[in-house]
RNA sequence: CGGGGUAUAGCGCAGCUUGGUAGCGCGCCUGCCUUGGGAGCAGGAGGCCGGGGGUUCGAAUCCCUCUGCCCCGACCA
């Protein structure tokens, strides 16, 4: 490809709308342009990167016995009503009607469609296991699309669904996908970590792992062990109570005046006590139920754990101040567990029962209780692990301190079990003629998001540094002296030769000064740069530059093709 | 969905307070010049100042309203 003909509009300045580096660079390097919030056009170079990742994904899926299909983006409402998700999925589902007023949605995922397919086509255990996948656009009306391709409303995803005879089969399929995912992200040149995760609204019974690309701009917090291979999404990570050694004798609850004091910080300051002596009391609303949640003042409540512990609500949120007023007769800043209404369930984090002389709200504006002994002075109905783990705590597996990192979720593997096969009657006959439900798994990779993740991880002040396997082109040739006939002709000749040897190469044939070409090449991030200048060429040499290491070498014209192919070959090994 | 911000040329921005019919840098087009890290000079094209309504002799500027976009939060296969 000739750069003069390529639709690759590079920008000198950072677009005002782009916040994170990958978004900025994708726009500046001329890979994408926005059409509407969360919707993007991929320009030629951006699309080439996407296709490269797709190819890697396809190869690895096929290698594990996956069969590619293509399901419709438009999905009939009936299937979603059959699974129960038409109502549960909420506003994130793009819904529309056809001319006959029949309801449809744009697929955010395809469990419904695929399970409907399988229930019609699979009859016998002999057909199992079956692994079906597609690479297709998904639609989710995110409340807040952001960061360019990182969180769009339309994005390309690979989704594979596995159907097995039993749990053991599912475990095998799951492991296959887990292994395939490791290969895929390694091949893409990404530094990633599989982490234990929460199954979320997609449901399912077994474990689940998320594949996190480690990057500071990631929207997820990950904890990992400094001593072993334990790693988990922070919202999933279990913890043990850290008991505070308090030797003071237990006392009687005393009501103290705390005028105008509402937040944890204010209470601590007013009473000169540390945060970990406070019982933070939060009134929560789960669907129609209300309950009081207790957690130590220095801890953060993990709502995911709370929702899991209490059986999974569709909607779980802090009760509105009016609700707090109605049930407890005070504002949110004064809530406490003492003398709450009989019917109000009180759930506490595991650390609460270990507290000895605690401080808590008095359900009365301007007052708090001190010297409170949990369980003794107030009722606790149920105790769970409800808090967010904190960096530095001991790993539950090996005891070494945990560390925290930010991660971008580029893939997730789920064990679904029979949730959907049961709802849809996707059954088969086993060798005894017995009817059984397929045991399912589902496995997704955000292909568009992986591009953003790759850039987050591979860039410098000058631009993108593509890992060779996903670079839009492997090599760029820059004739630095555009007036030198020798330079121009040699560049042309090398361009043709490299092309004929299967190297993905562009020739910057624009009538620009060398500096402009260098800047653009660095910005776009071509892994190998071949530069031809009058002086070096007079000695029969051209310069090869590695974008990543910044190393340059002078090579005889006759050896360029061989050397470039060498560099590519090396960079493609993993 | 709550809170905040913003909308002026392809991109980045000024002008708005105190109304008088639009400007700067980059990019783009022509020519000269230059040619190893976003050069220089000269000339040029390009805008219904997000949409609608109002106030006014007159609105980019003041008022009302709608919309888009961005950020924070909540939410999230």
The pLDDT of residue A558: 96
Residue A8, beta-bridge partner list: none
A236 pLDDT exceeds 60? yes
A51 pLDDT exceeds 70? yes
* pLDDT band at A205; cut points 50, 70, 90: low
* Any strand B atom closer than 7 Å to A563 CB: no
Q: In what order do the strands lie in the sheet with A358-361?
A: A254-257, A367-372, A358-361
Residue A110, C-beta contacts closer than 8 angstroms, at least 6 positions apart: A71, A75, A134, A159, A161
The pLDDT of residue A542: 96
Helix or strand holding residue A545 (H, E):
strand A541-546
Find the mean pLDDT for residues A299-307. Answer: 87
* Any strand B atom closer than 7 Å to A317 CB: yes
Using left for φ > 0, alpha for ψ between -120 and 50, and beta otherwise, residue A363 falls in left
Question: Which of A69-73, A99-103, A372-376, A478-482 is modeled with the greatest confidence?
Answer: A69-73
Nearest residue by alpha-carbon distance to C1' of B39: A513
Strands A74-76 and A435-437: unpaired
Which residues of A spanning 401-430 put their CB closer than 7 angstroms to strand B? 412, 414
The tokens for A257 are 């005046």
Residue A365, C-beta contacts closer than 8 angstroms, at least 6 positions apart: A330, A331, A333, A334
**Which chain B positions have some atom within 7 A of a protein CB?**
1, 11-13, 25-27, 34-39, 68-77
Q: Give the span between the Cα atoms of A239 and A388, in whole angstroms.
A: 8
The separation, in Å, between residue A114 CA and nucleotide B76 C1' comes to 23
A167 pLDDT exceeds 70? yes
Which nucleotide is closest, CA of A109 to its C1'?
A: B77
Q: State how far the alpha carbon of A472 is from the alpha carbons of A289, A458, A464, A467, A503, in Å.
A: 53, 14, 11, 10, 12
Other beta carbons within 10 angstroms of residue A151's beta carbon come to 19
Residue A286, C-beta contacts closer than 8 angstroms, at least 6 positions apart: A307, A310, A313, A315, A316
The pLDDT of residue A432: 96
Lowest average pLDDT, out of A246-250, A308-312, A450-454, A480-484, goes to: A246-250
Q: Give the span between the Cα atoms of A520 and A383, in whole angstroms.
A: 59
A379 pLDDT exceeds 70? yes
The pLDDT of residue A332: 79
Which nucleotide is closest, CA of A444 to its C1'?
A: B77
A137 pLDDT exceeds 70? yes
The pLDDT of residue A574: 79
The residue among A534, A537, A528 whose CA lies nearest residue A556 is: A537
Find the mean pLDDT for residues A279-297. Answer: 87
A202 pLDDT exceeds 70? no
A268 pLDDT exceeds 80? yes
Find the mean pLDDT for residues A499-517. Answer: 96
The mean pLDDT value of chain A amounts to 91
Query: Angle A44-63/A167-187 helices, nearest 10 degrees?
Result: 140
CA-CA-CA-CA torsion sign (A47, A49, A50, A55): positive
* Any strand B atom closer than 7 Å to A523 CB: yes
The separation, in Å, between residue A22 CA and nucleotide B68 C1' comes to 23
Q: Give the span between the Cα atoms of A226 and A148, in whole angstroms.
A: 33
Helix or strand holding residue A179 (H, E):
helix A167-187
The separation, in Å, between residue A13 CA and nucleotide B17 C1' comes to 30
Cα angle A209, A212, A214 (rounded to 5 degrees) comes to: 155
Q: Let me know: does A448 contact A31? Beta carbons within 8 Å.
A: no
pLDDT in tens, A4-36: 999 999 999 998 888 899 999 999 999 999 988
The pLDDT of residue A249: 66
Find the mean pLDDT for residues A287-294. Answer: 86
* pLDDT band at A115; cut points 50, 70, 90: very high
Find the mean pLDDT for residues A149-174. Answer: 95
Q: Give the span between the Cα atoms of A183 and A445, in whole angstroms.
A: 13
pLDDT in tens, A517-562: 999 999 999 999 999 999 999 999 999 999 999 999 999 999 999 9
Lowest average pLDDT, out of A222-231, A328-337, A532-541, goes to: A328-337
The pLDDT of residue A458: 95
Please state the pTM of the whole predicted model.
Answer: 0.92
Find the mean pLDDT for residues A407-428. Answer: 94
Q: What percent of chain A has pLDDT over 70?
A: 98
The pLDDT of residue A457: 94
The residue among A18, A15, A23, A8 whose CA lies nearest residue A449 is: A23
Q: Let me know: does A514 contact A544? Beta carbons within 8 Å.
A: no
Q: In what order do the strands lie in the sheet with A505-507?
A: A505-507, A475-479, A528-532, A541-546, A552-556
Q: Give the span between the Cα atoms of A151 and A170, in whole angstroms.
A: 30
Helix or strand holding residue A409 (H, E):
strand A402-417
* Any strand B atom closer than 7 Å to A305 CB: no
The pLDDT of residue A203: 53
* Any strand B atom closer than 7 Å to A450 CB: no
* Any strand B atom closer than 7 Å to A273 CB: no
* pLDDT band at A326; cut points 50, 70, 90: confident
Buried b / exposed e across A454-480, counting CB within 10 Å, b at 16+? bbbbbbeeebbbbbbbbbbbbbbbbbb
The pLDDT of residue A426: 97
Other beta carbons within 10 angstroms of residue A329's beta carbon come to 12
The pLDDT of residue A321: 76
């Amino acid at each position: 490809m000739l750069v003069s003909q390529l639709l690759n509009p590079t920008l000198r300045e950072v677009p005002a709308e782009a916040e994170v580096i990958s978004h900025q660079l994708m726009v500046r390097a001329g890979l994408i342009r926005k059409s509407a919030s969360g919707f993007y056009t991929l320009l030629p170079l951006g699309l080439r990167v996407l296709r490269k990742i797709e190819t890697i994904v396809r190869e690895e899926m096929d290698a594990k016995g996956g069969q590619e299909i293509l399901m419709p983006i438009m999905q009939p409402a009936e299937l979603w009503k059959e699974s129960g998700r038409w109502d549960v999925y909420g506003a994130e589902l793009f819904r529309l009607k056809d001319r006959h007023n029949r309801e449809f949605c744009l697929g955010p995922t395809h469990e419904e469609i695929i399970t409907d397919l399988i229930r019609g086509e699979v009859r016998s255990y002999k057909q199992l296991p079956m692994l079906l996948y597609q690479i297709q656009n998904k639609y989710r009306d995110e409340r807040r699309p952001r960061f360019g391709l990182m969180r769009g409303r339309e994005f390309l995803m690979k989704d594979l669904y596995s159907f097995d005879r039993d749990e053991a089969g599912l475990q095998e399929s799951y492991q296959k996908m887990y292994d395939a995912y490791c290969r895929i992200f390694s091949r893409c040149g990404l530094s990633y970590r599989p982490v234990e995760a929460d199954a979320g609204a997609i449901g399912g019974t077994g474990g689940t792992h998320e594949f996190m690309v480690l990057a500071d701009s990631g929207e997820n917090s990950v904890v990992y062990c400094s001593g072993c291979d334990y790693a988990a999404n922070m919202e999933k990570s279990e913890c043990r109570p850290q008991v505070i050694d308090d030797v003071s004798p237990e006392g009687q609850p005393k009501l103290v005046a705390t005028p105008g004091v509402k937040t944890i910080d204010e209470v601590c300051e007013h009473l000169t006590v540390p945060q970990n002596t406070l019982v933070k009391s939060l009134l929560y609303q789960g669907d129609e139920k209300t309950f009081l949640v207790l957690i130590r003042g220095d801890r953060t409540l993990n709502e995911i754990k709370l929702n899991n512990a209490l059986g999974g609500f569709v909607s779980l949120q802090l009760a509105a101040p009016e609700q707090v007023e109605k049930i407890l007769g005070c504002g949110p800043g004064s809530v406490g567990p003492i003398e709450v209404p009989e019917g109000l369930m009180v759930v506490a984090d595991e650390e609460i029962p270990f507290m000895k002389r605690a401080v808590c709200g008095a359900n009365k504006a301007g007052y708090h209780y001190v010297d409170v002994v949990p369980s003794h002075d107030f009722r606790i109905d149920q105790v769970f692990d409800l808090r967010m783990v904190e960096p530095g705590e001991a790993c539950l597996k090996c005891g070494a301190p945990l560390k925290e990192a930010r991660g971008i979720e580029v893939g997730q593997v789920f064990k679904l079990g029979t949730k959907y096969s049961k709802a849809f009657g996707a059954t088969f006959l086993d060798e005894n003629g017995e009817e059984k439900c397929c045991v399912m798994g589902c496995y997704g990779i955000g292909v568009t998001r992986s591009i953003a993740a790759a850039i987050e991880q591979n860039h410098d002040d000058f631009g993108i540094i593509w890992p060779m396997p996903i670079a839009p082109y492997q090599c760029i040739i820059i004739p630095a002296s555009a007036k030198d006939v020798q330079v121009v002709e040699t560049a042309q000749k090398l361009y043709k030769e490299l092309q004929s040897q299967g190297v993905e190469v562009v020739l910057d044939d624009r009538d620009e000064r060398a500096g402009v070409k260098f800047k653009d090449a660095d910005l776009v991030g071509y892994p190998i740069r071949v530069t031809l200048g009058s002086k070096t060429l007079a000695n029969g040499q051209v310069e090869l530059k590695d974008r990543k290491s910044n190393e340059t070498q002078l090579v005889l014209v006759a050896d360029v093709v061989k050397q470039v192919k060498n560099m590519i070959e090396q960079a493609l090994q993993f």
